[in-house]
Amino acid sequence: MDSCIFCKIVAGQIPSSKVYEDDLVYAFNDINPLAPVHVLIIPKEHILASAADATEENAALIGHVFAVAAKLAKELGLDGGFRIVTNSGDDACQTVHHLHFHLLGGKKMSEDLA
């Protein structure tokens, strides 16, 4: 999608700090990190604006995102644990409308999820 900042990152039109890439997903460091490790994992294709659009057809892709997250967590030394967050819609303060998953770790996080 032409106007989407994350599509531009995948296309290399906006620079990013790449952490991982394969045929399906791209992972890069969040520009405004909220934890010592804050990686965004996104499907390369702009097929979903948010988790609200997910269907059974997307199950394999979303499962792959979680497998990549687990692999990155190991590689990045998140032995104490980590959090995976996806914001969907205004109430969740979603700002970029290209499905993405925040992988957060490297510190003891708040018990308060909301």
- Dmax (CA) for the chain in angstroms is 39
Of 59, 31, 6, 65, the C-alpha closest to 73 is: 65
Assess 30 for contact with ligand AMP (CB under 6 A).
Answer: yes
| CA 73/CA 5 separation, integer angstroms | 25
Which of 1, 14, 59, 67 lies at the binding interface for ligand AMP (CB under 6 A)? Answer: 14
Q: Segment contacting ligand AMP (CB under 6 A): 29-37, 41-49, 55-63, 68-76?
A: 29-37
Beta bridge partners of 21: 26
Q: Is 102 one of the catalytic residues?
A: no
Tokens 């988790």 belong to residue: 51
Which residues lie near Zn ion (CB under 5 A)? 1, 4, 6-7, 46, 98
The residues annotated with a catalytic role in the active site are: 100
Question: Rule CB under 6 A: which residues touch ligand AMP?
Answer: 5, 14, 16, 30-32, 40, 87, 93-96
